[in-house]
Amino acid sequence: MTHPYIPNAGPETRAAMLAEIGAPDVAEFYRDIPADLRLDRPLDLPEPFADEQGLTRHLRGLLARNTDPAALLSFLGHGCYPHYVPAVCDEVNGRGEFLTAYAGEPYADHGRFQALFEYVSMMAELLEMDVVNVPTYDGYQAAGTALRMAARRTGRARVMVSGATAADKLAKIRDYLAPDVEVLLAPVADSGELGEVRLDDTFAALYLETPTVHGVVETRGRELAELAHGVGALLVVGTDPISLGVLAPPASWGADLVCGDIQSLGMHPQYGGGQAGFIASHDDERLVAEFPSRLFGIAPTEVPGEYGFGDVFYDRTSFALREEGKEWVGTAAALWGITAGVYLALMGPQGMRELGETILARTRYAMRALAAAGAVVRHQESVHFREFAVEVPDADALLAALRGRGILGGVRLGPREVLVCVTEQHSVADIDTLAAAVRDALTALAAAAPAPAPAAPAAPDAPAAPGAAT
Amino acid sequence: MTHPYIPNAGPETRAAMLAEIGAPDVAEFYRDIPADLRLDRPLDLPEPFADEQGLTRHLRGLLARNTDPAALLSFLGHGCYPHYVPAVCDEVNGRGEFLTAYAGEPYADHGRFQALFEYVSMMAELLEMDVVNVPTYDGYQAAGTALRMAARRTGRARVMVSGATAADKLAKIRDYLAPDVEVLLAPVADSGELGEVRLDDTFAALYLETPTVHGVVETRGRELAELAHGVGALLVVGTDPISLGVLAPPASWGADLVCGDIQSLGMHPQYGGGQAGFIASHDDERLVAEFPSRLFGIAPTEVPGEYGFGDVFYDRTSFALREEGKEWVGTAAALWGITAGVYLALMGPQGMRELGETILARTRYAMRALAAAGAVVRHQESVHFREFAVEVPDADALLAALRGRGILGGVRLGPREVLVCVTEQHSVADIDTLAAAVRDALTALAAAAPAPAPAAPAAPDAPAAPGAAT
Amino acid sequence: WDEEIVFELSRPGRRGVGVPAPEAPLVELPEGVARRTPPALPELSQNQVVRHYLRLSQETLGADFTIDVGQGTCTMKYSPKVNDSFARDPRVAALHPLQPEDTVQGVLEIYWRLEQILREISGMARVSLQPGAGSAAIYANIAMIRAYHAARGEGEQRDQVITTMFSHPSNAACAKVAGYEVITLMPDAEGNPDIEALRAAVGPRTAALMITNPEDTGIFNPRIREFVELVHTAGGLACYDQANANGILGITRARDAGFDLCHFNLHKTFSTPHACGGPAAGACGVSEALVPFLPGPVVDRAGDSFTLTVPERSVGKIRPFLGVTPNVVRAYAWVMALGARGLREVAETAVLNNNYLLAKVARIPGASVPWARRRRVEQVRYSWQRLAEETGVHSEEIGIRAADFGVHYWTSHHPYVVPEPFTLEPTESYSREDLDEYAAILAHVADEARKDPEFVRGAPYRQTVHRIDPTALDDPAQWSPSWRAYLRKHGAKRPG
Amino acid sequence: WDEEIVFELSRPGRRGVGVPAPEAPLVELPEGVARRTPPALPELSQNQVVRHYLRLSQETLGADFTIDVGQGTCTMKYSPKVNDSFARDPRVAALHPLQPEDTVQGVLEIYWRLEQILREISGMARVSLQPGAGSAAIYANIAMIRAYHAARGEGEQRDQVITTMFSHPSNAACAKVAGYEVITLMPDAEGNPDIEALRAAVGPRTAALMITNPEDTGIFNPRIREFVELVHTAGGLACYDQANANGILGITRARDAGFDLCHFNLHKTFSTPHACGGPAAGACGVSEALVPFLPGPVVDRAGDSFTLTVPERSVGKIRPFLGVTPNVVRAYAWVMALGARGLREVAETAVLNNNYLLAKVARIPGASVPWARRRRVEQVRYSWQRLAEETGVHSEEIGIRAADFGVHYWTSHHPYVVPEPFTLEPTESYSREDLDEYAAILAHVADEARKDPEFVRGAPYRQTVHRIDPTALDDPAQWSPSWRAYLRKHGAKRPG
């Protein structure tokens, strides 16, 4: 059988094509590869499945070793969020046209350009900023690049970064800026918001997140913007756009660059495969010049009334300039951008507002329910969006106990700290289930061991577990 | 919120449209409905889910009450078969274009016409007959219509139908022909093939199936064709096209009309939702005239070299002639026809041959394995394709015992008879699992009760269980 | 795309998908049973199959892509994508229809729940969800009617079925198949089926009246109860074709008008996708007296569990197994997204849209509305008679030209009682701007017809292929209902 | 389709999807934290959203629809549909990346298995599947190189990275971001990177050589081992960009040529779909010495179970969590459908296809092949220099006209070292007839260019829109990277 993926692999076809070329055999084309570099044996790989059915059985068998997600009630977040994905999002990103397109020109791929232009335009409305990039890999990368952009724009080599940032993300930012930019850590206040920071004119940027790693919504935005602007630094804000139906967009209180991940906007968690990053700025020519990413813009064509699309200011990219371009650009996460556009078009302004209200309400409900269940809720007086941290005598023991009831109770931030995530997918009944299980578990733990001293909050930059929560 | 499915439901839109029409309110349009026919209360329906997420949770919750099919090893067939469905079949029939198209003209729906023309053309090659209809509902309907066609074509009012036909199907045939055509039942030989039949010139047709309801492949086809033709009757054959990679097409041994279900060719079982019927004939004008279904043909256009498509001989249908048309035509199962076309295009002649060989081989393997396990295999000397019946002391007890091991052992045909189905999806290891379980179950049953006398074969037209196997 | 026929893409030896090896000894088949020559199926690699069929899909104008108000009587509405995800769930797709009942409780519950919903909507005592589509449901109803009369010993006597010209042709055709003589009532001057003709037709031979309301004209027959009573008085049954139910959901009910049977098309009113013409799904509702005759099995509830039962005098199976399950699931989900209030919004908005479009189309010079003074519910059958008289351009030709603007357009079923007909049914799915655009396309084409009738007749101009010569489809010497017939009759690989 | 911008379809009050009610008391937000004006997002019903995006999809020429040999260097190959079904399985799609390890054993095993496969294909000691795409993998490699030298105390000293002009620009750009000075080797007269230039460049400041082979010209550098040895001798590391690995799978391995690091693009060689430009996936392979520096975590096997471990001196996370899981699953499934023999067939057929297309294109008047005597592996960078001299039509213009025939066409990355370049890479996915058709399209357009250069320059003619005025994209006063910027700068709803 000629392999279904390789139409010309049949011996007759191969012979006819070789004849047309005038080559004796395929080995001829490899003659530039020295003999001592040739692999003189077949690759040692597992036996393949010649039939699709066998392949399917094999793969489904492997996947069946994962616990059925439907059998788990999960409160995991910490950078990847279980929001509801409308069916239309999957329908659109499953279309072969979008799924298998790549880097075509604006004419043959007019639809791809338009869909991505619309994505950036809808994000721009949500963010109240005029410039949004075609997605980069993820929110980590977006933060690293936004800070490098700030450094280039200001010509300065230090940035102040909020300590209320996920440890892995902080590490990535440090690594990414290391050659050129020094990263200083800003303290976190008891409220969970950014603490007192001092900046001077050596700082390129102040970076903060809202909601923070602990889900705390920053309330001093305008003050911090003024602080940064006062020394000529930029205010760079990391946020999740899903919060912006109810929260004021950072630009409205002075942010110069806003960045984050769009996984919340219509992407399934996919064991980390749904991440995509955005960076936004105002339409300031000098900041636009610092974007490494592609920017898609609308343009007239020869025919009046037509909309064409193309790259805005292409001659700043590594595609155009190699190492002289801004950082680099490459394949990243465009399809998730299109999907986020579908999500925002479905939701509209009212949907985003209602969603935000529901998440705020349920987050607070969950905080109260867990407090009533005996957990110590951190930053209890602050406004939280979607996440909050609780202190418990033994995070591992608690999570294990919950696990026994089919609940993934949260992400372990430290030996005594667990981060709980509540989205619109968690009904009040789900939260009550969690709270009841937490109460039982804490009671059992207390009975099993003498009560420890109150837990110290985990250091904000303590490394998280490498990949798994428990 | 304006309902997402009803764009004009908003009060402003409604008012503006009413103003444009010049109507005071929507009630105006209903004024022809007498007051005493108006429902004066809201419908008493369950509370709906205003949010898609809630709807999804509700539906997934209901579906979760079904046993996970992946957790069952099933040998159920009897008219609906668990063949492997290549992913490309699902990809094509999931395309919004095909899924939501309907009855457009050949221009706007050129692709639909071509895809269905290609389906009938590939079926025609498999069947070696020139005329195949756009799918009707299912194989039952196809058999009923084929026999009615034979009656109309011959002007005779009796048909002889093989007793080796599923009981439900026989009942449907009887009911469908009742007003005009008498149905006589032909006996079944010990081999499972058709027994001795006598026909005379009052018979419009002899109807037989191969494979039969018991999976037996008919070997006397040519003889039976000659018998029918000898009295001026037609030979109508029911078959499953999936067998025709290895079995001689009925037309090659004299069938005049061939019919059946195409569910095997790329349709998931879907709890009975994957059925679709086909009817095929030679290109005999007088037989073509008797098709009630649509027939799609290829035709030239104004531009040389272009292929157009359209309805062949439309003026025989009920769309054209109402009750003067041949039976009726309506929405049936076109998408499954397109899907079966995709299936055949993927498989090609070699794939169909290999598939048939695999099914033949595994069926025989299963027959031997179950015989070795202590079941009495019926028609053991005959050629079987995909199905065979076994006699056991107590079908219900056996099936219940297998069920306890997560095995659906077969369809209960009678108190002591079970029909076992083996496709390419059942590996030899799966069959061994079944055989081992059967052996254990039969041993346990024998220990629990005195051995009964050898079971009599179930009468061929005994009614099957209404819907469920056990 | 200029896509070839799949056979032309074939090259020997290629394959689209692999098949498992036998793993067991091959079976030698007897002479005459084994296939000798392999079928001349095409041979393609998988990428080629995908490309071919995806291109063909793009050449198909699904309702997802167009303002699909032009396929009147078809109730083209939005089919929610989320419902497809339920239909494709392995817990539907992979279920075998003969599994033990305890392994399929979820799907049985959905059948049961949808039946309750349709009972409430129709007022009927029970509903069968077995038929594969609307015409199959009509056939099931006529089969029940036949069985009912036979059970009362009037099977021989009652050999006539009455229907109307603006009811779907399957009412006439199915009755004929079931052995009945068919009497068709024509419309009166008001556009209602002629009640005097009904009076003349009913009698001891009447088995049933099979009638749509509103009819395909969009006119609701205000004397429908009288129709039903006339038939009842004569001992016949009244059967309601509810293919046009979309505009009257929650407004008026079949049973309340006295009907004994009715049917719905789940692929019309209840949003399951039309799928190029099926799989669809039909539902038959019946009054108490006809419950014993329902197709079997039906789903009964016993406490928290659901079982299959065959009604006492069941007409048997209209279709193998229980029904078109994926569409039953979709229809249930659709209702559960709307509820009672939503269904009423569906009906009212569909009717509003219809009347809005009517107002727009009535203003197009050359278009007219038969029985113009009558109110319309869900659709309207219009006429281009004036335009045809003025320009010589026929309705079919307008339709082909309309396709150049990316929309569908349907004339009507034969015979054309309304001259030069076209039938529009906007349903609730289309926005006001959509309706404006559709009306503008019609106005544009009518204008073209007046300015340059030959141009309109020469359409299509923007489709994959140009005008088809229909003679090749009706001449037995030329017709080619398959590629093999085409090769045999026309020899060359390409026509012309 | 003449599809409007989504904002133009908006009408107040419409909604595409509902949201769950809070079920709990609303939260009052402090002044300044609450959003005051709702975002100006469009308001559409669900049917409108579906229609809009499905139409846009049809205006996108995915590889499923075209003979996608014209996007040279991109390795456009068939992405099997069955693999998408695995990626969409809820047991992949719904998994949270921080779930306990014991709940994700299946997906961890797939990571582990794919790593073993890539180890064997590359000869490397370990492989990380974390990077989100090829350039991210290049960055990961340079980060490891930096950490390696730093660990040896040579971090300050080794501040130069050497690459070649026909290696992907990200090699140069990522090295720059990582703090290195970049030295770029130009091709010599034979089309190889200039080994004398390398000799001149290497030294104590050399951190690494980052090189593609075969380069984007399709030429395999036969002295690659010497390149590696020169760098090793100077104390640098050799890093292999294997974006062009498709033609050499199972033929030659990175480690066997002495490389210390390499990377693959799973969305090129291993068939995961390109997705309009991602999500993609990259894989970094390293020799024993660099294993401690790998991005973390990696998947280790312990008996029958799989665990996550962070390498001792890990450079940290290149991306959040473990990697682009759906594409790791797809790539694994692709290899498992092919095996060792299949991968070799992939490589050999891709190379055969490339040389077949080369033979066809070389015969088109006006086309030429720089370094024509050299053999080619997976792709060829061609030139229309002669055609441009003859007709004044440039390669970009040929490409826009080619789009009218439904195919893609890519020139190359800047700078255009090959004048008037175009780059074709047929991979193994396309049939002989496909290659014939593509070559015929190029020949046709070249012929048009000779006969009527202005006609070619006026393209496109069969696309959704006509030639775009690019000045509006580079002028800050005009550029409109979002609809709000467009409305602000251009005011009117439609340009012109």
Interface of A with B in 90-119 (CB under 8 A): 91, 96
**Across the interface, do B87 and D80 touch by the CB < 8 Å criterion?**
yes
Q: Which of residues 6-25 of C touch A (CB under 8 A)?
A: 11-21
- Assess whether pLDDT exceeds 70 at residue A28: yes
D208 bridge partner residues: D161, D237
Write down the ipTM of this complex: 0.96
- Contact criterion met (CB < 8 Å) for B424 and A53: yes
Reported as a single tens digit per residue, the pLDDT across C165-179 is: 999 999 999 999 999
- Whole-model pTM: value is 0.96
> Residue C365 has what DSSP assignment?
T
With an 8 Å Cβ cutoff, are D64 and C51 in contact?
yes
> Quick one: average pLDDT of A293-322?
92
D1 shares contact with chain C (CB less than 8 Å): yes
In sequence order, what are the residues at sequence separation of 6 or more whose Cβ sits closer than 8 angstroms to the Cβ of residue D442? D361, D364, D367, D398, D402
Query: Would the CB atoms of D1 and C46 count as touching at under 8 Å?
Result: no
- Report residue A407's pLDDT band, with 50, 70 and 90 as the boundaries: very high
- Per the CB < 8 Å rule, is A301 touching D465? yes
- Percent pLDDT > 70 in chain C is 99
D374 to chain B nearest CA, in Å? Answer: 39
**Which residue did the predictor score with more confidence, A131 or A318?**
A131
**Number of other residues whose CB lies within 10 A of the CB of residue C474:** 16
Mean pLDDT of chain A: 94
pLDDT of residue C2: 82
Half-sphere exposure of A323 (CA within 13 A, CB side): 21
Question: Residue A463 has which token pair?
Answer: 């490394």
Average pLDDT for B343-364: 98
Say whether residue A5 is in contact with chain C using an 8 A CB cutoff: yes
Q: Are A410 and A378 in contact (CB under 8 A)?
A: no
Average pLDDT over residues A378-405: 97
Helices A334-372/D46-58 angle, 10° precision: 150
Helix C169-177 to helix C134-151 angle (10° resolution) is 40
pLDDT in tens, chain D (496 residues): 888 999 999 999 999 999 999 999 999 999 899 999 999 999 999 999 999 999 999 999 999 999 999 999 999 999 999 999 999 999 999 999 999 999 999 999 999 999 999 999 999 999 999 999 999 999 999 999 999 999 999 999 999 999 999 999 999 999 999 999 999 999 999 999 999 999 999 999 999 999 999 999 999 999 999 999 999 999 999 999 999 999 999 999 999 999 999 999 999 999 999 999 999 999 999 999 999 999 999 999 999 999 999 999 999 999 999 999 999 999 999 999 999 999 999 999 999 999 999 999 999 999 999 999 999 999 999 999 999 999 999 999 999 999 999 999 999 988 899 999 999 999 999 999 999 999 999 999 999 999 999 999 999 998 889 999 888 899 999 999 999 999 999 886 543 3
Contact B2 D15 (CB under 8 A): yes
3-class secondary-structure state, position C40:
coil
Nearest CB to C54; choose among D46, D64, D78: D64
Task: Say if residue C217's pLDDT is above 80.
Answer: yes
Q: Which residue of D has its CA nearest to B2?
A: D14
Closest CA to C364 of C379, C386, C393: C386
The pLDDT tens digits for C285-304 are: 999 999 999 999 999 999 99
List the single residue in C106, C251, C321 with the smallest CB-CB distance to B30.
Answer: C251
D205: Cα separation from own chain's centroid: 30
Q: Which of C8, C44, C47, C430 to mutate to test the interface with D (most CBs of D within 10 A)?
A: C47
Residues with Cβ within 8 Å of C415's Cβ and at least 6 positions away in sequence, in order, are none
pLDDT tens column, B54-65: 999 999 999 999
Chain A residue with the nearest C-alpha to that of D401: A107
Is the CB of residue A60 less than 8 Å away from at least one CB of chain B? Answer: yes
Within 10 Å of residue D487's Cβ, how many Cβ atoms? Answer: 15
Q: Which of C493, C37, C12, C40 is nearest to B124 (CA)?
A: C40
Distance from the Cα of A99 to chain D's closest Cα (Å) equals 4
Q: Kindly state whether A427 is in contact with chain D, defined as any CB-CB distance less than 8 angstroms.
A: yes
Q: Helix C483-490 to helix B110-127 angle, to the nearest 10 degrees?
A: 80
| pLDDT value of position B450 | 62
Q: Mutate one of C10, C11, C43 to test the A interface: name it (highest A CB count within 10 A).
A: C11
B51 in contact with D, Cβ within 8 Å? yes
Does the beta carbon of A7 lie under 8 angstroms from any beta carbon of chain C? yes
Q: Do B53 and D19 count as a contact with CB atoms less than 8 A apart?
A: yes
In the complex, which subunits touch C with 3 or more CB pairs below 8 angstroms? Answer: A, B, D
Of chain B, the percentage scoring pLDDT greater than 70 comes to 96
Nearest Cα of chain A lies from the Cα of D300 at a distance, in angstroms, of: 13
| Beta-bridge mates of residue C193 | C187
pLDDT band at residue B83 using 50, 70 and 90 as cut-offs: very high
Interface membership of B302 toward D (CB under 8 Å)? no
Q: Which of B302, A108, A170 is nearest to C495 (CA)?
A: B302
Q: Is the pLDDT of residue A457 over 70?
A: no
The beta-carbon neighbor of D47 closest among C1, C9, C78 is C78
Q: In B60-126, which ranges are E strands? A: 73-74
Whether B460 has a pLDDT exceeding 60, the answer reads no
How close, in Å, is residue C50 to chain D by CA atoms?
A: 7
B399 beta partners:
none
- CA–CA distance, A377 with A393 (Å, rounded to integer): 13
Nearest CA in chain D to C432: D11
Tens digits of residue pLDDT in B374-407: 999 999 999 999 999 999 999 999 999 999 999 9
Per the CB < 8 A criterion, the answer to whether C290 and C312 are in contact is no
Q: Which amino acid is at B259?
A: C
What confidence score (pLDDT) does residue D494 get?
A: 44
Do A65 and D105 count as a contact with CB atoms less than 8 A apart?
yes
Q: What is d(CA D380, CA D378) in angstroms, rounded to the nearest whole number?
A: 7
What does the pLDDT read at residue B11?
95
For B415, list phi and psi in degrees, rounded to 5: -60, -25
Q: Note whether C140 and B96 are within 8 A (CB).
A: no
Contact B91 A96 (CB under 8 A): yes
Contacts of C9 in chain A (CB under 8 A): none
DSSP 8-state secondary structure symbol assigned to residue C209: E
Q: Is omega for the bond preceding C214 within 30 degrees of 0, making it cis?
A: yes
Tell me if A467 and D297 make a contact (CB, 8 A cut-off): yes
Chains touching chain A at 3 or more Cβ pairs under 8 angstroms? Answer: B, C, D
Residues in chain B closer than 8 A to C466 (CB atoms): 301-303, 306, 308
Closest residue to D18, CB basis, from B12, B50, B91: B50
Residue A16 distance to chain C (closest CA, Å): 13
Residue D296: predicted pLDDT: 93
Question: With 50 as the cut, is the pLDDT of residue B459 above it?
Answer: no
Q: In this predicted model, what pLDDT tens digit does every residue of A97-144 receive, in sequence order? A: 999 999 998 999 999 999 999 999 999 999 999 999 999 999 999 999
- Please check whether residue A87 touches C, CB under 8 A: yes
At C157, the amino acid letter reads Q
How far is it, in rounded angstroms, from Cα B179 to Cα C143?
11
Q: Look up tokens 């439309």; give the residue.
A: B314
**A87-343: which CATH topology?**
Aspartate Aminotransferase; domain 2 (3.40.640)
Which residues 189-218 of C have a C-beta within 8 angstroms of B?
none
Show the domains of chain C with their CATH numbers: 84-336 (3.40.640.10), 340-457 (3.90.1150.10), 467-496 (no CATH)
Q: Do D473 and A314 touch (CB under 8 A)?
A: yes
Tell which residue, B117, B116, B127, has the closest CA to residue B281. B127
Q: Are B394 and B445 in contact (CB under 8 A)?
A: yes
CA-based nearest residue in chain A for residue D311: A466
Which amino acid, one-letter code, is at C173? A
CB proximity C262 to B under 8 Å: no
Q: Give the C-alpha separation, B84 to B82, whole Å.
A: 7
CA atoms C435, C437, C439, C441: torsion sign: negative
Nearest to B258 by CA among B121, B168, B139: B139
Whole-number pLDDT of residue C184 = 97
Report how far apart, in Å, the C-alpha atoms of A99 and of each of D54, D283, D318 are.
13, 21, 24
pLDDT mean over C232-236? 98
Q: Pick the residue from chain C with its C-alpha nearest to A3.
A: C15
Touching check for C81 and chain A: CB below 8 Å? yes
Residues of D in contact with B12 (CB under 8 A): 12-13
Are D50 and A88 a contacting pair at CB < 8 A?
A: yes
Express each pLDDT in C308-335 by its tens digit.
Answer: 999 999 999 999 999 999 999 999 999 9
Answer whether residue C340 shows pLDDT above 50. Answer: yes
User: Which numeric CATH code is attached to A70-83+349-448?
Assistant: 3.90.1150.10
Beta carbons of B168 and C273 less than 8 Å apart: no
Q: Where are the domains of chain B?
A: 7-63, 70-83+349-448, 87-343
* pLDDT at residue A283 in the model: 97
